[in-house]
Amino acid sequence: MKIDKQTVVERLRPNLQGLLQELKPDAKPAGKGKLLAHCLFPDNHTNGDANPSLLLFLDKGGYKCQACGEKGSIFDLYGLVHGLDFKQSLHALAERAGVEATTKLQQKVTGRYDYLNPDGSLGYYKERLEPARDGKRSKEFVIKGPNGKLGQPDNPLLYRLPELLRSTQGEMIIFTEGEKHVDLLSSWGLIATTLPHGSGSTWHDSYTAPLLGKQVVVLADNDEVGRRYAEMICQSLNGKAASLKIVELPGLPEKGDVIDWAVKLENNCTRLLEIIESAPQWLPITNNSPNRLTLRSGRELRAMDIKIEWLVEGVIPRNAVVLLYGRGGIGKTTLAMQLADAIDQGTTIFGMQTVNTQVIVVDYENSLAVLSERAKRTSVDGVLFCDSSLNPPSLDKADWEIYLQLLRQYPGALFIFDTLRSAHSGDENNSEAMALIMRRMRELRDAGATVILLHHTPKGNDRQFKGSGAIFDLCDQTLALYQTAKPGSDQEASDDDDDPDKTYRFGTGKKTRYRPHRVFLSFDGEREVFALAQNPDDVALESLHEIITNMSIVGCAKQSEIVRKASEVGGETFGGDKKIISLLKKGIGHYWTTEKGLHNSTIYRPIQCGSVAPPIESEKLPNRNLSQKNAEFCAETSDYLDWSEDPIDAEFGSFSDHFSQTAKLAYDDLPVF
């Protein structure tokens, strides 16, 4: 039955707070128009959301978790609590609100298409609904996970992927614009595939590996959208497929496709193969073919659902060429083994989240005995190694393509090459030789891999790496590992520094296409591995948090007063007014929240024990020990408490998407300012 959802919400609004607290009894007031409760999806959190991070909104009854990012409407919330699907939840709340259904919607699932993982297990499936759920369109497609939950999991797959993986080099693969078209071609004995969202799809790097070295043919629908879809596929596979063709079937009506073409008796598999055989090869744009250029509007770019993904949060982006450099003997290989271990298991390392991914280590230098000894310091049980005794192919030789073949076997793998200098036979100072190596690494990246190249630094400068500028120009991310002059400092230690309690900086170097990030490490001599070192700023932030808490008369304090008080009681600890202001900025969202007071002043509210997750976008988390009445009093009285105006505006906008995926973050996870 058709029910106006907006009308239901309007009728429920006067009693929404009571309804939300009925559904989530642990919900507490959290500022104007919001409640704060434990997340509905505790499995998404490493600590089960021990510190509440779910915001409930009193205007429409929706919810959003600040840590794991799950969100939905009041109908979704009601259904989750009572075990109902969306339709059942809608009807239950409509009855509660006194809203009657006007029509009966006869909706059927008229098709189901399973998207399988490489091992043949169900990744997710796509349903065709007639009519659409809104009752306005004739059909609709929805994607559901293996458990039937609405929404596509974060593992984009090609349709009929196992068949593609079984195909051999040089075999023909046909792309269409829908699953029904693929099934038709498969019934003819052809190998075919499509993208999950048809013409609205974007290309994901993981799609490339199963198509390497194949003859790819795209059957374009007879409209502009279909031709753009075909061009997008060919552009994405240019230089990776053995050949590329775009085929426009003859006699198609406007918006027609291969199913419309196959209706005619004379059109069959044999005829299709003849048309494909006679079609010209697709070629990328050249000076002689200006009409092949495909342009994207800013609107199309903005509409693309493409996000930067991280294998190790903040330092190792997925599908990137990363240069990790440090002086000889500093521990690059040990650090790489620790990173490989964490990524292989999908566990945190040095307070940074990782994503479980197959890791392949290609070691050109170390003997099998040395590699075995280092492997024993970490589990690395699932990491795959090619050691020097196996003579791994050099990156400047023709047989380097074996790594592309490995990627086909392990899609999306992380390759660690130890070291760049030993991985080729050329001169590392020769720009042409190094450009060849880096172009090949980018080719491996574009085929779906992530690449880490371990590299050395010149003597006396651990913050600069050896070799041609082509290495720097053609990588995506540089990571430096060097000893610091003192804990928490970015300054490099002198050559003769023999401090037994050494501190190391590990993080972005002089180039990054992403955002700067670093952590400080110490070396555990007994276990012979790196460990997270305490950042002196953490101690200062905790002291500053205590000062703000003690001087917060009604749960808040003004910036100028905080700076004055911190200078009086801990000038040496904080290092002057500028350092205090810098610390105040760094601690926003973890140690305290901010808001604007009178006369453009900045008001700070301490977060209890630093336990509340950082805010999402521009949302501000309240101090849960502070009542709404006291909060209003604080804002109203910020003037007569003799607080002077602040010269600094410490308000910030949103944090990156990275912070929305972690229930509880250590300070080292915050961005570097």
**Complete DSSP assignment for 398-432:** GGGGHHHHHHHHSTTPEEEEE-TGGG-SS-TT-HH
Sign of CA dihedral 23, 655, 297, 513: negative
Give residue 485's pLDDT.
82
Average the pLDDT over 351-379 and give the result.
90
Q: Distances in Å between the alpha carbon of 369 and those of 171, 216, 339, 344?
A: 42, 45, 20, 22
Q: How far apart are the first and last CA of the chain?
A: 54
Average the pLDDT over 628-644 and give the result.
38
Confidence at 384, pLDDT banded by 50, 70, 90? very high
Give residue 537's pLDDT.
75
Confidence at 209, pLDDT banded by 50, 70, 90? very high
Give residue 670's pLDDT.
34
Structure tokens at 31: 């500022």
Give residue 18's pLDDT.
87
Percent of the chain beyond pLDDT 70?
83
**Residue predicted with more confidence, 266 or 137:** 266
Percent of the chain beyond pLDDT 90?
33
The region of weakest confidence among 208-222, 259-273, 524-538, 550-564 is 550-564
Nearest CA to 258 among 184, 351, 324? 184
Alpha-carbon gap, residue 373 to 365, rounded angstroms: 14
Rg (CA), the chain: 29
Give residue 572's pLDDT.
63
Residue 402 has pLDDT above 80, yes or no: yes
Q: What is the pLDDT of residues 546-592, one digit of tens each?
A: 888 887 666 678 888 888 888 887 766 677 888 888 888 888 887 88
CATH of domain 310-532: 3.40.50.300
Residue 183 has pLDDT above 90, yes or no: yes
Give residue 451's pLDDT.
97
**Residue predicted with more confidence, 413 or 484:** 413
User: What's the chain's average pLDDT?
Assistant: 81
Nearest CA to 410 among 568, 212, 576, 579? 212
Confidence at 651, pLDDT banded by 50, 70, 90? very low
Residue 606 has pLDDT above 80, yes or no: yes
Confidence at 457, pLDDT banded by 50, 70, 90? confident
Residue 611 has pLDDT above 60, yes or no: no
Question: What is the domain partition of the chain in residue ranges?
Answer: 5-97, 108-144, 161-295, 310-532, 540-669
Residue 318 has pLDDT above 60, yes or no: yes
Nearest CA to 485 among 469, 502, 463, 472? 502
Residue 179 has pLDDT above 90, yes or no: yes
Give residue 122's pLDDT.
92
Average the pLDDT over 190-212 and give the result.
91
Residue 40 has pLDDT above 90, yes or no: no
Q: Distances in Å between the alpha carbon of 87 and those of 20, 133, 349, 420?
A: 19, 9, 43, 58
Give residue 489's pLDDT.
73
Phi, psi (deg, nearest 5) at residue 452: -120, 125
Structure tokens at 402: 């074996």
Confidence at 673, pLDDT banded by 50, 70, 90? very low
Confidence at 461, pLDDT banded by 50, 70, 90? low
Give residue 214's pLDDT.
94
**Residue predicted with more confidence, 532 or 155:** 532
Give residue 512's pLDDT.
84
Identify the top-confidence range among 36-45, 469-478, 582-591: 469-478
**Residue predicted with more confidence, 494 or 359:** 359
Class of domain 540-669: mainly alpha
The region of weakest confidence among 295-299, 342-346, 427-431 is 295-299
Give residue 418's pLDDT.
94
**Residue predicted with more confidence, 435 or 377:** 435
Residue 430 has pLDDT above 60, yes or no: yes
Give residue 180's pLDDT.
93
> In 248-358, which ranges are E strands?
310-312, 316-317, 321-326
Give residue 105's pLDDT.
55
The region of weakest confidence among 275-279, 402-406, 571-575, 669-673 is 669-673
Give residue 102's pLDDT.
57
Give residue 663's pLDDT.
34
Alpha-carbon gap, residue 355 to 185, rounded angstroms: 36
Predicted TM-score (pTM) of the model is 0.46
Residue 614 has pLDDT above 80, yes or no: no
**Residue predicted with more confidence, 601 or 386:** 386
**Residue predicted with more confidence, 231 or 106:** 231
Q: Does domain 5-97 have CATH number 3.90.580.10?
A: yes
**Residue predicted with more confidence, 198 or 211:** 211
What's the CATH fold of domain 161-295? Dna Topoisomerase Vi A Subunit; Chain: A, domain 2 (3.40.1360)
Average the pLDDT over 14-24 and give the result.
87
Confidence at 247, pLDDT banded by 50, 70, 90? very high
